[in-house]
Structure 1
Amino acid sequence: MKALWMFPGQGTQKAGMLTNVEADYLNKVKMITNIDLKDNIEGYHSTVQIQLSILILQIYQIDKLNSLGWTPSIVAGNSLGTFSAAYAAGIITMEDVIELVSIRAKMMEKLYPSGYGMGVVIGLEREDLGAVINSLQAKNEIVFLASQNAEMQNTISGERRAITEVLAIARKMGATKVQLLDVPTPSHSPLMKKISDKVEELVGKMKLNSPSCLYFANYSGHSETSLNKIRYDLSHNLEYPVLWNSMMDIGLEYRPDVSVEFSPGDILTGILEKKVKSIQSIKLNYLSVEDADYILSKLKRGFKK
């Protein structure tokens, strides 16, 4: 039974999402970073709190599934989720990935403390949205076309003022939904290159292992086995658009039987289910790991018949 494990990034965090995470995991974050995770609305105004909380939640769920005998055939992380995907594939240790995400998040928060962010536009072609952004860039507005989660769902990054202008134009053009995202940094744009270069130095000092399964990289949208390319992805995915739509199209060519979306949220499952109906979907945002284990065991027995 082939399993696709999907890891969302920031934007769907919510107060209380760490309630069921064992204290040992929270203490591990504290020991490595000297940061207490707050898990409340106030805390989730901080990039550092958001990213470390999502990471340790996903690590906890990975470890619990592993302890029950479940491992992925394919891993794919969206933005921040790339680091959990790398952990799930055995590429990076828990200690190193916590340290890496902590330092990366601190640099993001320091470089863009306010006035920047991301937005999403649903219902317009990427080419049409790109034309709007190009016209504003010609007026020296700081805004970029960022990731593509689905065919008609694209994100934009840059100054919040410019993002708001793009959203207003997109609405007039017939977009079905426009929204400022709860993301305080201009991720997946050239504005993040300075951070990517510094992260590359950190990753270069860490020992990485060959992936135990297919690892899909954000920067290329393809499965990568070369450690050099994986290092590049972990370092530089922040400055590239995440073409999740294309990544899933390619991932489906490997014919996974079941998908597991790790907390928080269920957006990635929704995107996948619009592409294919034959995959059994498990969303840990709504199920305990024990419930997921029960469903996976039942599915596995069915595939053996």
Structure 2
Amino acid sequence: MKTLWMFPGQGSQRQGMLADVDPKLKKKVTELTGIELLDTDHGYLDSVQIQLSILILQMDQVIKLKQANWEPALVAGHSLGVFAAAYAAGVISTDEAIRIVALRANLMQNAYPNGYGMGVIVGLLRKEVTQIVTDNFDTNHPVYVSNQNSQLQVTVSGNIAGINHVLEKAKIQGAQKAKLLRVPVPSHSPLMKGVAKKLTEALKAVKLQQPNCIYLADYNGHATRDVEKVAYDLGNNLSYPVYWDVMMSIAKEYLIDSSVEFSPGHVMTSLLKAKIPEIKTITLGDMSLEDAEFLLNKWLK
């Protein structure tokens, strides 16, 4: 069985999602960063709380699946999810992942404390969205085309006022959906180059291991087992679009037959099913780990 493990980023966080996470993992976050995770709606207004909480939620699920002797053939992380993907592939340790994600979140939050974010447009091609962004670009309210989640799902990143203007233009042009995302920073755009540079410098001091499975990189969508390319993705994906659509096409070429989407949410599974309708899927945001293990064992027979 060839299973793809997928790790979403920010956007689907919710109060109480850490209820089943090992308390020792929560305590480790406080010991390493001085931050106490709140796991509340109010807490999830803060990017640092969001990123660290999603990270340890996914790492906890990775640990539990591996304790049950399950391993991925491929891993793919969307934005923040690259760190849990790298963790699942044996590239980065628990402590280092927590430290680097805390740094990442703080750098992002301090770079753009307010007035910036992301939006999503569904129903238009990337070239159509690019044309709207180009025609309406304003240096005082900059907006850039960012992630390619599917052929007809594209995100934009930048100034909120500028994004709202682009979203309205997209609706006029026929977009099925155009809305702001629950992401308080302009991720995956040139606006994040400064953050990416500092993060890359910090990663130079982290001992990373060769991945023990195939890693799909955000910044170009390609598959790799080269630790230097994984390190580049961890440090720099914030300043590049996430080419998720390309990543899923490459996963299909590897003849994957099943997938596990780690919490929170289930958007990645929906995108994958659209590309590979026959694939067997598990979404840990919608079922218990016990149910997931039952299905994996059933599929293995």
* Cα separation, 1, equivalents of 2:227 and 2:168: 43
1:115 alignment partner in structure 2: 115
Structure 1 moving runs of 4+ over 3 Å: 138-141
Matches within 5 A, 1:244-255: 244-255=244-255
1:287 alignment partner in structure 2: 287
> CA deviation digits over 1:110-151, x for unaligned, max 9?
111100000000001110110111112266540000001111
Question: Which TM-score applies when normalising by structure 1?
Answer: 0.97
Cα drift, residue 226 of structure 1: 2.0
Gapped regions of structure 1 (runs ≥ 5): none
Do the aligned partners of residues 221 and 16 (structure 1) sit closer, same or farther apart at CA in structure 2, a change above 3 Å counting? same
Do the aligned partners of residues 138 and 164 (structure 1) sit closer, same or farther apart at CA in structure 2, a change above 3 Å counting? closer
Cα drift, residue 169 of structure 1: 0.4
2:300 alignment partner in structure 1: 300
1:21 alignment partner in structure 2: 21
Q: What secondary structure, in the 3-state scheme, does the structure 2 residue paired with 1:220 have?
A: coil
> CA deviation digits over 1:200-222, x for unaligned, max 9?
11111111100000001111100
* Cα separation, 2, equivalents of 1:273 and 1:228: 31
* Cα separation, 2, equivalents of 1:244 and 1:189: 15
> CA deviation digits over 1:20-53, x for unaligned, max 9?
1121111111111111100111000000000000
Cα drift, residue 278 of structure 1: 1.8
Question: Partner letter of residue 56 of structure 2?
Answer: I
Q: Does 1:167 align with 2:167?
A: yes
2:6 alignment partner in structure 1: 6
2:176 alignment partner in structure 1: 176
* Cα separation, 1, equivalents of 2:117 and 2:225: 32
2:207 alignment partner in structure 1: 207
Cα drift, residue 225 of structure 1: 2.0
1:66 alignment partner in structure 2: 66
> CA deviation digits over 1:237-266, x for unaligned, max 9?
000000101110111100111100000000
Q: Does 1:102 align with 2:78?
A: no
Cα drift, residue 179 of structure 1: 0.7
* Cα separation, 1, equivalents of 2:40 and 2:187: 23
Q: CA RMSD in A?
A: 0.9
Question: Which TM-score applies when normalising by structure 2?
Answer: 0.98
Q: What secondary structure, in the 3-state scheme, does the structure 2 residue paired with 1:146 have?
A: strand
Q: Does 1:188 align with 2:182?
A: no
Q: Which moved more, 1:82-91 or 1:216-225?
A: 216-225
Give aligned-pair identity as a percent: 47
* Cα separation, 1, equivalents of 2:3 and 2:125: 31
2:143 alignment partner in structure 1: 143
> CA deviation digits over 1:151-193, x for unaligned, max 9?
1000000000000000000001110001100100000000000
> CA deviation digits over 1:59-107, x for unaligned, max 9?
0000000000001000000000000000000000000000000011001
Question: Partner letter of residue 106 of structure 2?
Answer: K
1:42 alignment partner in structure 2: 42
Contact persistence 2:212–2:225 (CA under 8 A): no
1:238 alignment partner in structure 2: 238
Q: Does 1:225 align with 2:220?
A: no
* Cα separation, 2, equivalents of 1:123 and 1:224: 31
Q: What secondary structure, in the 3-state scheme, does the structure 1 residue paired with 2:223 have?
A: coil
Do the aligned partners of residues 138 and 18 (structure 1) sit closer, same or farther apart at CA in structure 2, a change above 3 Å counting? closer
1:269 alignment partner in structure 2: 269
Question: Partner letter of residue 144 of structure 1?
Answer: Y
* Cα separation, 2, equivalents of 1:30 and 1:139: 40
* Cα separation, 2, equivalents of 1:14 and 1:140: 33
